[in-house]
């Protein structure tokens, strides 16, 4: 009996070890996603044309141009939801082109409006190369492409409602949108003077499963909490200028910085983590100002710009200015044309965990992920001696999440 029990025990252990070994091996054998070349280097197999256009293959390169001033598209036949896309391209000096993604199958006759388009245009100040049209404006790269490497590399990450664009390994745009969650990838050219060349285009699919939570604006607006006024309209109680020579006064019931100095003014009674911060501002055309959020005084002399905890307030919408009103400094540019110079405007900053969203006069200006700071003070600034700006109705709704 003892021998039988011993044999059964040994068999059981063998089975457990065998099962464990198989499980370990099965993990090793699971295939990870692989890069899919969307162009075979020979012909346009797997692609459809929309609005015609001139598309040909030269030396294993796709060359596209438009027969007239309208847009011409080359659309891949497959649909993708979440992915990493890599493209190597060239475009002539006067060329206007782009890439599209998540173009729904039922609306492929109009990719620009039904899906998303990334602009490729060396002369467009409003939407530089890398801009996700109507979602996120790109920063124009400061350095030119070396002549020894004329091909530019664009990368796109798409996950849920978040898009990130890299140009030659530098992040130039980040945006969030929910217009379309799946669809085709494509190439676009506009105008007879355009020659766009695509040397490589490949895609790495990721999970097709997408969970969309309510936008942080919706979460914070609907969260319990009360509004707290941070400025009494009479004096600078609760506010402090740690450094700088700016002269801050209360004028006509508004925090006012007079021309001739520069420096930040912070509300120092309390720090904030997750919140809606709103205020009204009025600026002149030469104003270069800003609004701080989650600023940590332990950073010493390093101001909010160092930690990307500033929303820009600028006196005009000069397109040569990368960080205009509503831009989240050094993270994402702003949508142009939302503010009025010399009039009262409203700025709203939504902050929830690592997400930050700005609105100017009720319209979305920018959105980004900021992991540099999660808790800190709010404040306003004058960045140069010519700045004249005013702030009033300064309120915050803090959410304990």
Interatomic CA distance for residues 77 and 259, integer angstroms: 59
User: Looking at the domain that runs over 225-398, which CATH code has it been given?
Assistant: 2.60.120.560
pLDDT band at 173 (very low <50, low <70, confident <90, very high): very high
| Position 69 pLDDT exceeds 60 | yes
| Position 20 pLDDT exceeds 80 | no
When mean pLDDT is compared over 31-40, 163-172, 190-199, 257-266, the highest value belongs to 163-172
**Are residues 236 and 248 in contact, defined by beta-carbon separation less than 8 angstroms?**
yes
pLDDT band at 41 (very low <50, low <70, confident <90, very high): very high
pLDDT per position as a tens digit, 3-12: 444 444 444 4
Q: Which residue has the higher pLDDT, 397 or 383?
A: 397
Pick the range with the lowest mean pLDDT from 66-80, 206-220, 283-297, 299-313: 299-313
Q: What's the pLDDT score for residue 261?
A: 86
Q: What's the pLDDT score for residue 146?
A: 58
Whole-model pTM: value is: 0.83
Q: Does 225-398 match 36-205 at the fold level? A: yes
Q: What's the pLDDT score for residue 32?
A: 53
Pick the range with the lowest mean pLDDT from 101-110, 286-295, 367-376: 101-110
Q: What's the pLDDT score for residue 385?
A: 85
**Are residues 55 and 64 in contact, defined by beta-carbon separation less than 8 angstroms?**
yes
Interatomic CA distance for residues 194 and 185, integer angstroms: 20
Burial 327-365 (b: 16+ CB within 10 A, else e): bbbbbbbbbbebbebeeebebbbbbbeebbbbbbbeebb
Of the options 3.60.21.10, 2.30.30.90, 2.60.120.560, 3.10.105.10, the CATH number for the domain spanning 36-205 = 2.60.120.560
Question: 364 - beta bridge partners?
Answer: 359
Interatomic CA distance for residues 238 and 121, integer angstroms: 48
Q: What's the pLDDT score for residue 294?
A: 95
Q: Which residue has the higher pLDDT, 349 or 314?
A: 349
pLDDT per position as a tens digit, 219-255: 999 999 999 999 999 999 999 998 888 899 999 999 9
Q: What's the pLDDT score for residue 88?
A: 97
Distance between first and last Cα of the chain? 63
Query: Where exactly are the structural domains of the chain?
Result: 36-205, 225-398
Interatomic CA distance for residues 212 and 27, integer angstroms: 29
- The secondary structure element, H or E, covering residue 219 is helix 216-222
Q: What's the pLDDT score for residue 23?
A: 35
């Amino acid at each position: 009996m003892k021998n039988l029990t011993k044999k059964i025990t040994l068999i059981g252990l063998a089975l457990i070890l065998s099962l464990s070994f198989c499980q370990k091996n099965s993990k090793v054998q699971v295939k990870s996603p692989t890069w899919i070349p969307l162009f075979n280097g020979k012909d346009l197999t797997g692609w459809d044309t929309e609005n015609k256009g001139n598309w040909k293959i030269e030396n294993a390169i796709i060359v596209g141009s438009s027969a007239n001033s309208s847009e011409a598209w080359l659309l891949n036949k497959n649909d993708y939801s979440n992915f990493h896309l890599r493209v190597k391209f060239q475009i002539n000096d006067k060329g206007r082109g782009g890439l599209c993604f998540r173009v729904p199958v039922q609306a492929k006759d109009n990719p620009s409006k039904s899906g998303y388009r990334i602009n490729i245009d060396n002369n467009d100040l409003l939407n530089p190369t890398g801009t996700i049209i109507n979602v996120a404006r790109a920063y124009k790269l400061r350095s030119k492409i070396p002549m020894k490497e004329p091909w530019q590399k664009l990368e796109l990450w798409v996950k849920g409602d978040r898009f990130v664009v890299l140009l030659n390994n530098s992040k130039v745009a980040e945006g969030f949108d929910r217009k379309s969650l799946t669809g085709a990838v494509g190439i676009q050219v506009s105008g007879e003077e355009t020659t766009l060349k695509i040397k490589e285009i490949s895609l790495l699919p990721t999970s097709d499963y997408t969970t969309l939570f309510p936008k942080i604006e919706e979460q914070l607006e609907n969260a319990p909490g009360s509004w707290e006024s941070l400025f009494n309209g009479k004096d600078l109680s609760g506010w402090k200028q740690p450094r700088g020579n700016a002269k801050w006064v209360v004028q006509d019931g508004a925090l006012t910085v007079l021309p001739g100095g520069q420096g930040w003014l912070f509300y120092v009674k309390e720090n904030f983590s997750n919140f809606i911060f709103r205020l009204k501002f009025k600026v002149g055309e030469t104003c270069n100002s800003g609004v701080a959020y989650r600023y940590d005084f332990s950073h010493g002399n390093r101001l909010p710009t160092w930690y990307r905890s500033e929303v820009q307030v600028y006196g005009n919408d000069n397109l040569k200015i990368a960080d205009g009103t509503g831009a989240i400094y050094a993270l994402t540019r702003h949508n142009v044309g939302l503010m009025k110079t010399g009039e009262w405007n409203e700025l709203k900053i939504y902050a929830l965990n690592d997400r930050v969203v700005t609105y100017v006069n009720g319209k979305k200006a920018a959105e980004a992920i900021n992991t540099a700071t999660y808790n800190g003070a709010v404040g306003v600034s004058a960045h140069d001696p010519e700045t004249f700006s005013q702030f009033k109705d300064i309120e915050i709704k803090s959410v304990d999440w």
